[in-house]
């Protein structure tokens, strides 16, 4: 039974798929105007755990993620410059070329480097322009829109009694204390459905519409893409906490105005990550990319461990010291995982309660994560189990239980714990045997010689009274 903190209800809700055992999930994707940074990837690492967990629990998951390649203005609402057009000017390219460049980089980092599970539908906003125009036309026909001359087609939020329910906005307070950012708005919370192109210039990305040449508002694409690929209602919608007051609030307004049904049952929002206690920004020159992580010698798995060491609802703080700690934590896991190659024993049923690790260790990990994706506690549980494995005599380690625990970690966390801990070669095993025999004969010179030879190949030896255990260095 999976329980998740639902931003809409402000409590942990039990996931109950609307369509039996199929869970429909929509994730807000990247705006592809520049290279992604680690702050972008944090949320996707968490949602990857969610997908893996649900599938492990026997549920079918259908997920859509958009790619914003048009319409996202620098203010995140209806003012400022289109981020794609801005990126194009910065790089001296067309917005189309900028989109292609950063889509290629983002998909490589997500699915080749981080090994995240690819969504069933990975959709570009520009591939759904016709559908967005049709959706806007339906809103207009229902009386939810009005035109601001020279600006665009806007959604009238006063037509909804429950506008702002996700963020629990104080609409009256906003009206009294805020300044309307776009002249001609009827209400401070109204937002653009379709923006007109400037009359005196041509944009890289613009399309004909019933209201004039222009481009879709940022919020429109997610409502349309979710409905086209998943239907009128979905089970889970994920994104960053910055989307709660504007973007996700406006998605709900658009979609529910068309369908008359609750859009998403559960809304999940991940918190931000800072760098050395400061918000990442170009002005502070503290933006960290995945390339920076790799260039410092850390693996994608170690980065995931660093991310998962805090809960998705808690604000994170990146430092290189935290990365070093996460890297050491992952190495400790690898050390324990490598022991599966050095034992060939399954504990009898009668003694399974005494085995290391416990046969209940894998299920305990799942139960921890089922409680609102409690990744910090899950990592602590893994630490505890692997510490027991490392400290236990080899004779008490159950190979099948250890293998099962490692596979569960791999399946749920996606940290490559199996491929990163391969067995050593037969030649190395023979050297370890010869060294053991030399030690029994007290031939310390030969023992040391073999030890040094193995160390040169990246293998260290830890001697116990009955065994010699190898470890990668």
pLDDT band of residue 202 (cuts 50, 70, 90) is confident
Which whole number is the average pLDDT over 72-100?
79
> Does the pLDDT at position 215 exceed 80?
yes
pLDDT band of residue 346 (cuts 50, 70, 90) is low
Neighbours of 213 (CB within 10 A): 14
d(C-alpha 341, C-alpha 319), whole Å: 35
Task: Give the per-residue pLDDT at 413.
Answer: 98
Regarding whether 132 and 28 lie in a shared domain, the answer is yes
> Does the pLDDT at position 456 exceed 60?
yes
Regarding whether 123 and 17 lie in a shared domain, the answer is yes
Which whole number is the average pLDDT over 310-319?
97
Across the chain, what does the average pLDDT equal?
91
d(C-alpha 79, C-alpha 96), whole Å: 21
Residue 204 lies in a domain: yes
Which whole number is the average pLDDT over 241-268?
97
Pick from 362, 378, 413: which residue ends a domain? 413
Give the ranges where 78-165 is alpha helix by DSSP (H): 83-91, 95-107, 129-141
Tokens of 349: 């049923």
Residue 210 lies in a domain: yes
Regarding whether 352 and 452 lie in a shared domain, the answer is no
Residue 296 lies in a domain: no
Regarding whether 248 and 180 lie in a shared domain, the answer is yes
Determine the structural domain holding residue 214 and report its residue range: 3-270
Regarding whether 404 and 342 lie in a shared domain, the answer is yes
Which whole number is the average pLDDT over 310-317?
97
pLDDT tens for residues 109-157? 999 999 999 999 999 999 999 999 999 999 999 999 999 999 999 999 9
Regarding whether 13 and 68 lie in a shared domain, the answer is yes
Regarding whether 213 and 114 lie in a shared domain, the answer is yes
d(C-alpha 81, C-alpha 340), whole Å: 56
Q: Which residues contact 48 (CB under 8 A, 6 or more apart)?
A: 114, 116, 117, 414
Q: Is the pTM of this model over 0.85?
A: yes
Regarding whether 408 and 438 lie in a shared domain, the answer is no
> Does the pLDDT at position 27 exceed 80?
yes
State which H helix or E strand residue 26 sits in: strand 22-27
Regarding whether 229 and 172 lie in a shared domain, the answer is yes
Tokens of 338: 């490598």
Task: Give the per-residue pLDDT at 177.
Answer: 45
Q: Into how many domains does the chain fold?
A: 3
Regarding whether 371 and 247 lie in a shared domain, the answer is no
Which whole number is the average pLDDT over 50-76?
90
Q: Are strands 214-216 and 234-240 parallel, antiparallel or unpaired?
A: unpaired
Regarding whether 319 and 210 lie in a shared domain, the answer is no
Which whole number is the average pLDDT over 309-329?
97
* Cα end-to-end span (Å), the chain: 40
pLDDT tens for residues 263-297? 999 999 999 999 999 988 766 789 999 999 999 99
Residue 282 lies in a domain: no
Which whole number is the average pLDDT over 364-373?
98
Among 99-113, 222-236, 425-439, the least confident range: 425-439
What is residue 193's three-state secondary structure?
A: strand
Tokens of 388: 């027991």
Task: Give the per-residue pLDDT at 72.
Answer: 72
> Does the pLDDT at position 455 exceed 90?
yes
Burial classification of residue 45, based on how many CB atoms lie within 10 Å of its CB (0-12 exposed, 13-18 middle, 19 or more buried): buried
pLDDT tens for residues 257-268? 999 999 999 999
Residue 178 lies in a domain: yes
Burial classification of residue 21, based on how many CB atoms lie within 10 Å of its CB (0-12 exposed, 13-18 middle, 19 or more buried): exposed
Alpha carbon 287 to chain centroid, angstroms: 18
Tokens of 172: 């009256």
Give, in degrees to the nearest 5, the angle at Cα 244 between 241 and 246: 130
pLDDT band of residue 352 (cuts 50, 70, 90) is low
Q: 88 or 386, which is more confident?
A: 386
Regarding whether 306 and 367 lie in a shared domain, the answer is yes
């Amino acid at each position: 039974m999976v329980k998740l903190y639902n931003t809409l209800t402000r409590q942990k809700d039990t996931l109950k798929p609307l369509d039996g055992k199929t869970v429909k999930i929509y994730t807000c994707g990247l705006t592809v105007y520049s290279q992604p940074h680690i702050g972008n990837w944090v949320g996707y690492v968490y949602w990857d755990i969610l997908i893996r967990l649900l599938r492990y629990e026997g549920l079918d998951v259908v997920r859509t993620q958009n790619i914003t390649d048009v319409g996202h203005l620098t203010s995140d609402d209806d003012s400022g410059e289109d981020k794609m057009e801005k990126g194009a000017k910065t790089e001296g390219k067309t917005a189309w070329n900028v989109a292609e460049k950063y889509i290629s980089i983002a998909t490589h980092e997500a699915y080749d480097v981080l090994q995240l599970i690819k969504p069933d539908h990975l959709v570009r906003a520009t591939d759904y322009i016709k559908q967005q125009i049709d959706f806007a036309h339906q809103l207009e026909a229902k009386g939810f829109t009005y035109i601001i001359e020279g600006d665009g087609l806007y959604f009238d939020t006063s037509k909804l009694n429950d506008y702002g329910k996700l963020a629990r906005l104080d609409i009256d307070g906003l009206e009294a204390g805020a300044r309307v950012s776009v002249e001609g708005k009827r209400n401070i919370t109204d937002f653009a459905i379709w923006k007109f192109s400037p009359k005196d210039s041509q944009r890289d990305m613009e399309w004909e519409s019933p209201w004039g040449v222009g481009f879709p508002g940022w919020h429109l694409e997610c409502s349309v893409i979710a409905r086209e690929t998943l239907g009128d209602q979905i089970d889970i919608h994920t994104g960053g906490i910055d989307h709660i007051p504007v973007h996700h609030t406006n998605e709900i307004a658009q979609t529910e105005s068309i369908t008359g049904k609750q859009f998403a049952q559960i809304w999940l929002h991940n918190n931000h990550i800072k760098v050395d206690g400061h918000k990442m920004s170009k002005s502070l020159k503290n933006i960290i990319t995945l390339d920076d992580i790799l260039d410092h010698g850390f693996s994608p798995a170690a980065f995931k461990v660093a991310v998962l060491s805090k809960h998705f609802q808690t604000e994170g703080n990146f430092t290189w010291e935290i990365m070093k700690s996460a890297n050491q934590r992952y190495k400790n896991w690898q050390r324990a995982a490598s022991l599966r190659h050095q034992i060939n024993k399954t504990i009898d049923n009668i003694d399974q309660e005494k085995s290391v690790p416990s046969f209940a260790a894998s299920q305990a990990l799942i139960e921890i994560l089922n409680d609102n994706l409690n990744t910090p506690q899950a990592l602590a549980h893994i630490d505890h189990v692997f510490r027991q494995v490392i400290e236990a005599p080899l004779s008490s380690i159950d190979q099948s239980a250890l293998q099962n625990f490692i596979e569960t970690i791999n399946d749920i966390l996606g940290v490559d714990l199996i491929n990163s801990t391969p067995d050593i070669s037969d030649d190395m095993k023979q050297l370890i045997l010869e060294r053991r025999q030399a030690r029994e004969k007290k031939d310390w010179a030969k023992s040391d010689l073999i030890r040094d030879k193995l160390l040169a190949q990246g293998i260290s030896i830890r001697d116990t009274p009955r065994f010699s255990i190898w470890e990668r260095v």
